[in-house]
Structure 1
């Protein structure tokens, strides 16, 4: 059953019309863009074309259920959806990592996560419930939302005339004339296919995922009172739980509709897709690698809802923004890796650039320079984030090195990209120009740290598993401070100084990591890190212990 609209507003079969912006795809990327455009530019006429009829079922079979700081800020504050998130979705208890490959006693393994909620909120998103709400809000704001409609063709204009989108709905085809066309069609990639924009990357990873009825609670895996009471509240089930091993991780994400989302993500060579591309195979794989989790899922209350797999899920794109009034957003453009849940972040970033380009063009300005520069920035964010995943999956089972990597990767994210977005400076080109040296230094540090971590893990070659311990990120004072500072309202001078302080913290942390790696393996290659650190002293305000190890 479709969402009810008034008879006057309801689109009719064969109903040709003109719109300022036609958005092809009414999923997460397309509907959030429509909301952002209408909230920021109420005079724009916006049409969304979506092939599925609304409302969709809850626990929709899509990746992108775990939000992190940029995406959460975008949903809650830019789009004004905080009330829905607080009442209809699940407040996330951070990321949590168990180094539990092959273990029947997860409570005896190293656990990395927070014991208390971090200051900046994020949520677990039931995509079906969320997209139904987005569709309702879009219609309330005056967006024409044509659900149950299929795009049959796109004619892009070469000049200032309108583009044409040919849409089939209720058995008839009509044409939507539009000033702008934005592809938000996900992996269908309507414009990407039409224009030959597909671009492979070197991150060779696969994924399988499914959903089951009921919540899977990690606390049910133990009767150890001390282990159960490490977290306050004791709600590990609300975390995005990562069960980690060499070459893979397994996710558990709760959905507010009462289902649990589960998935295996793995290096394609270390764990071939053919070993897990059916539910039966995936469960057999789990029984070998995560037997305690498999035993939980074998219980009768966890009925299978659906199952899907993706080969080579990560990819880039040759172009996403054009001065000729078209753009790609979300998975229609590029996709990284779900390990740190960056999908909604990159939707937020691309949508914000698209909104700015549309506003500039509608005001009669030449957008050539901004389209090129925004694309350059967007691709640099993508390429720098890809380094966190590419060739790093062999590390994922190393409970000495991987916690260090997680702290570093978080710090990199909270130091630069997250404050840039949350501070509303993504399109502030003057400030971005001033920050270029800081961004370049941070990039250089990260490009040295990632291979250093990889070499450290390779040199470890496995090793002994420590006794049960919690590496509690909440007890790292400066780490919590960085998270809390994301929503500080700063003037430009203070903001620029803050980013400089953040990069100084990265520099200090890089020195600590190099020191720890050399303690473990004296001859380890520094990958140029010594030269980057040579002239810089550690900031005196930082605590000497950079992660807490509490039994």
Structure 2
């Protein structure tokens, strides 16, 4: 039965994490705006929802907690994350004999492990309370985009009922369904070819339960390794363990498609056999009766880009409906935060009648540059993941790159500050050039290390690196524009110094290693930042 045409200023297609947070942000910033969300799943959804994106890092965590004001929910209904933790545990039957990379204490800037079902139920309730028209259990059946100033039209419904919604803006937040991507042929692949399988089990899986060594158990304060996003690393893959507040544990294998074919793990039985070969201690733990299987899913070639994400025709995409990188550093909620921020700004400019059109291409260029620069952290790097000499240094470099530029930009609310971004362009270009030289250096260093015996097992405690800890803390600093520019420039100087340290140590292992042009970049002026001595001590422990 066809219902009368209704209208909203903004129609959001998809009421998952990306769509509901966008709806809340729009209502928060523009209370007079009418917003409708059309979601195919009926609410409430079950907890431990069958989705990836449970681990947050600084940008996404700040977006949820401070931009959207959800800190109380995160503190009381989700799990405070104990950072990323990496175990170089290929073939290991004894976790305490493996090199461990992580923090011994919580870093200053918080992040959380998100039970997606619980979180999205909370977001849906808040959306309705705050005046969002949230149509759950509804399927989008058609989208008609206007070529001029006329409204777009979305047809949706449940069962035999069909409804029509006119809207000035339409935003695709439908995830991998990619409603607008399919309609407009926006799909674009990339050269990062990786696969993933993941599942949930009942009860928390605690790595501390794998050891009886009192000294090892007490190396962390609090001794809560289970709260970390634990990465069990080996050549060409990593395995995640993420705790969920509902009492389940999220597990997943992510791997280079050539080194570990998807066909070796695309059922739960196969995945467990794969774990018995590569992570036997994990497999033995998961075989216990209390860890009942809840679900299982796999994705082939999960990483992709898009030809376009924002349009002068008043449409946009956000979340996985646009681009998706890789779950290794948990950037999914970061890119939701960034795209939602740009979409809100475009809609606000349109509503104010000040002309949003010139900003569409500017924001899209920025968004794609963030995507492309972040992609370099993953692409062709999976063979390195089992190298416990080089991989810890790569992790430090990748964190530093993230905390030096993109994270402070978001925390400072300067994603749309084009004047400041213009002043920072040389710093961003310098940082990009450094990263493009460092990543192949790390890759070649790892390749040359093949067959070299591993170092003695130890904890590589990132908390002990004073400048590293300070970069994390400084994300919350409030700075005026000149001080902010100076901070970013100092961060890039830190990157230059760190790149020099990496090159020096790579040449210490392999004197003739190709530096990929890094030495020439390092000839640019820049002194050694304060706090280098402690970092040098830590590096020495890595190389030992």
**TM-score, normalised via structure 2 length:** 0.98
What is the alpha-carbon distance in structure 2 between the residues aligned to residue 122 and residue 16 of structure 1?
Answer: 43
Q: Residue 373 of structure 2 corresponds to which residue in structure 1?
A: 384
Q: Residue 199 of structure 1 corresponds to which residue in structure 2?
A: 188
Q: Residue 182 of structure 1 corresponds to which residue in structure 2?
A: 171
What is the alpha-carbon distance in structure 2 between the residues aligned to residue 380 and residue 292 of structure 1?
Answer: 40
Whether 1:297 and 2:286 are equivalent positions in the alignment is: yes
What secondary structure does 1:14 align onto?
strand
Whether 1:26 and 2:15 are equivalent positions in the alignment is: yes
- 2:518 equivalent among 529, 545, 549: 529
What is the alpha-carbon distance in structure 2 between the residues aligned to residue 177 and residue 214 of structure 1?
Answer: 46
Shift of 1:170: 4.5
Shift of 1:540: 4.5
- 1:480 equivalent among 456, 469, 474: 469
- 2:108 equivalent among 119, 122, 131: 119
**TM-score, normalised via structure 1 length:** 0.97
Moved over 6 A (4+): none
Q: Residue 99 of structure 2 corresponds to which residue in structure 1?
A: 110
What is the alpha-carbon distance in structure 2 between the residues aligned to residue 185 and residue 535 of structure 1?
Answer: 46
Q: Residue 267 of structure 2 corresponds to which residue in structure 1?
A: 278
Q: Residue 64 of structure 1 corresponds to which residue in structure 2?
A: 53
What is the alpha-carbon distance in structure 2 between the residues aligned to residue 15 and residue 502 of structure 1?
Answer: 56
- Asked if the contact 1:246–1:398 (Cα under 8 Å) also holds between the matched residues in 2, the reply is yes
Whether 1:155 and 2:149 are equivalent positions in the alignment is: no
Which string of whole-angstrom CA distances, capped at 9 and with x for unpartnered residues, describes residues 220-278 of structure 1? 11101111010000000000000000000000000000000000000000000000000
Q: Which runs of 5+ in 1 are unaligned?
A: 1-11
- Asked if the contact 2:494–2:529 (Cα under 8 Å) also holds between the matched residues in 1, the reply is no
- Asked if the contact 2:338–2:367 (Cα under 8 Å) also holds between the matched residues in 1, the reply is yes
Which string of whole-angstrom CA distances, capped at 9 and with x for unpartnered residues, describes residues 15-55 of structure 1? 53100000000000000000000001101000000000000
Q: Residue 527 of structure 2 corresponds to which residue in structure 1?
A: 538
Q: Residue 446 of structure 2 corresponds to which residue in structure 1?
A: 457
Pick closer, same or farther for the CA change 1:362–1:540 going to 2, 3 Å.
closer
Q: Residue 62 of structure 2 corresponds to which residue in structure 1?
A: 73
Whether 1:230 and 2:219 are equivalent positions in the alignment is: yes
Q: Which runs of 5+ in 2 are unaligned?
A: none
- Asked if the contact 2:84–2:229 (Cα under 8 Å) also holds between the matched residues in 1, the reply is yes
Mapping 1:254-269, distance limit 5 Å: 254-269=243-258
Q: Residue 131 of structure 2 corresponds to which residue in structure 1?
A: 142
- Asked if the contact 2:195–2:256 (Cα under 8 Å) also holds between the matched residues in 1, the reply is yes
Mapping 1:421-460, distance limit 5 Å: 421-460=410-449
Pick closer, same or farther for the CA change 1:540–1:93 going to 2, 3 Å.
closer
Q: Residue 419 of structure 1 corresponds to which residue in structure 2?
A: 408
What is the alpha-carbon distance in structure 1 between the residues aligned to residue 267 and residue 186 of structure 2?
Answer: 31
Pick closer, same or farther for the CA change 1:73–1:540 going to 2, 3 Å.
closer
- Asked if the contact 1:109–1:465 (Cα under 8 Å) also holds between the matched residues in 2, the reply is no
Q: CA RMSD in A?
A: 1.2
- Asked if the contact 2:493–2:526 (Cα under 8 Å) also holds between the matched residues in 1, the reply is no
What is the alpha-carbon distance in structure 1 between the residues aligned to residue 512 and residue 356 of structure 2?
Answer: 52
What is the alpha-carbon distance in structure 2 between the residues aligned to residue 15 and residue 218 of structure 1?
Answer: 57
Q: Residue 230 of structure 2 corresponds to which residue in structure 1?
A: 241
- Asked if the contact 2:202–2:248 (Cα under 8 Å) also holds between the matched residues in 1, the reply is yes
Shift of 1:14: 2.8
- Asked if the contact 1:167–1:175 (Cα under 8 Å) also holds between the matched residues in 2, the reply is yes
Q: Which moved more, 1:516-525 or 1:164-173?
A: 164-173
What is the alpha-carbon distance in structure 2 between the residues aligned to residue 299 and residue 395 of structure 1?
Answer: 31
What is the alpha-carbon distance in structure 1 between the residues aligned to residue 530 and residue 454 of structure 2?
Answer: 33
What is the alpha-carbon distance in structure 1 between the residues aligned to residue 154 and residue 125 of structure 2?
Answer: 23
**Across the two proteins, how many residue pairs are aligned to each other?**
540
Which string of whole-angstrom CA distances, capped at 9 and with x for unpartnered residues, describes residues 168-196 of structure 1? 12420010000000000000000000000
